[in-house]
Amino acid sequence: MIKKSKIHVRKGDNVQIISGRHKGKTGIIIKVLTKTSHVIIKNLNLKIKHVRKNQEEESGKIINFEAPIHSSNVMLYSIKSKTRSRYNTKFNENNQKYRILNKTAEIIK
């Protein structure tokens, strides 16, 4: 049985890649894969897949797609101050939890 792990980023977060071939690039998370602790970032880590034709009518294709990146290789990113940071959680007066960046005190939505 595969156990789901808690990941520090969510779908829609702005992140910066901190290691690997695409180090320093920023993007928005499209999908979070909790079973493998990977994330897919829009227009980053593009891979090419050659698809064979299935029937006589169809032709072969070359497809570009975003490959997953491990969540430990990304950090939350502030677009306003252009810095990456860790985050803390706090509660507002309505007792709702929200995330706040440590370096810039910016609230993450």
pLDDT at 88: 96
pLDDT at 27: 97
Q: Which amino acid is at 101?
A: L
Specify whether the backbone of 61 is left (phi greater than 0), alpha (psi in -120 to 50) or beta. Answer: beta
pLDDT at 64: 96
Whether the pLDDT of residue 1 is over 80: the answer is no
Percentage of the chain modeled with pLDDT above 70: 99
The model's pLDDT over 5-42, given as tens digits with 9 standing for 90+, comes to 889 999 999 999 999 999 999 999 999 999 999 999 99
Q: Which of 91, 9, 79, 89 is nearest to 99 (CA)?
A: 89
List, in order of start, the domains of the chain with CATH numbers: 14-84 (2.30.30.30)
Q: Which residue has the higher pLDDT, 55 or 105?
A: 105
pLDDT at 33: 95
